[in-house]
Amino acid sequence: MNDYYSKNPRFYVGIDCIIFGFDKKKLSLLILQRNFEPAKGEWSLMGGFVQEGESADEAAKRVLQELTGLKSVYMEQVGAFGEVHRDPGERVISLAYYALIDINAYDHELVHQHNAHWVDVNELPHLIFDHNQMVEKARNAMKQKASCAPIGFNLLPELFTLTQLQNLYEAIYGESIDKRNFRKRIADMGFIEKTDKIDKTGSKKGAYLYKFNDKAYRKDPRFKL
């Protein structure tokens, strides 16, 4: 009867995390220089395996938390990678997820234990298996999504200057944006709120700090950058 299932093989289902951070003008990824087998010494994404009793999304959150200590992070599934020999050790079908985190807020101790490092997304080393492919696909998916939904804010602190926001989008798109046009679009959207606080770390004059107003966004969710 349950031949329907049991005549089929079962597989390890892996999780791999493309963890984006943003600092100054650069998008970076948090990657591991593996101090464990397999592929010890090489660079890889943070990974893990789906366990019984947890969904794929939950597994991805858990794996991310194991490295960063962070809960409730913005994550999106990139897709399944299922080539037969993608992992030379065993047949593993892996689900890639990208995560957007504030590069100033994570557990440094945990990251240190895993021998993980931030690396400029444009200067990535060779990664094991098909991890470079996963990164490529994640970058495209993220870029696409960031252009039409307000997910970029997950890479910034709660308060940010418009220059920081512009630098972020320039990094995501890989091209520079006209300052006045950028600020016009921000103003048009109407849910990026000026606060009365001023940041003086970036310039002598100081720049107003803004914040993303989620409630205002949901009232009129038009986003285009």
Residues near DNA, by CB under 7 A: 161-163, 178-181, 183-184, 200, 202-208, 224
Nearer to its own copies, 4 or 204 (CB): 4
Q: Is 126 in the site for its own copies (CB under 8 A)?
A: no
With contact defined as beta carbons under 8 Å apart, do 145 and 169 qualify?
Answer: no
> Which residue's CB is nearer to its own copies, number 13 or number 216?
13
The single residue among 24, 25, 89, 197 that binds its own copies, judged by CB under 8 A, is 89
Query: Closest distance between DNA and the C-beta of residue 152, in Å?
Result: 17
- For its own copies, the binding residue among 1, 88, 123, 181 (CB under 8 A) is 1
Q: Which residues, in sequence order, are CB contacts of 30 under 8 Å at separation 6+?
A: 19, 21, 46, 67, 68, 101, 111, 116, 117, 118
Name the token pair of 110.
């945990």
DSSP state of 36: S
Minimum Å gap between C-beta 137 and its own copies is 10
Q: Do residues 135 and 153 make contact, with C-beta atoms less than 8 angstroms apart?
A: no
Under the criterion CB under 8 A, does residue 93 sit at the interface with its own copies? yes
Structure tokens at 187: 């103003």
Residue 40 or residue 204: which is nearer to DNA going by CB?
Answer: 204
Nearest to 28 by CA among 94, 148, 111: 111
Angle between helices 179-189 and 162-173 (to 10 degrees): 110
Contacted by 82, from its own copies, DNA, none: CB < 5 to 8 Å by type: its own copies
Question: Rounded CA gap, 173 and 160, in Å?
Answer: 19
Nearest distance, CB of residue 137 and DNA, angstroms? 25
Cβ 46 to its own copies, closest distance in Å? 15
Q: Which amino acid, residue 190? A: G
**Closer Cβ to its own copies, 89 or 206, answer by number:** 89
Nearest residue to 160 (alpha-carbon basis) of 23, 68, 26: 23
Contact residues: its own copies, CB under 8 A? 1-2, 4-5, 8-13, 36-38, 49-57, 59, 77, 79-84, 89-93, 95
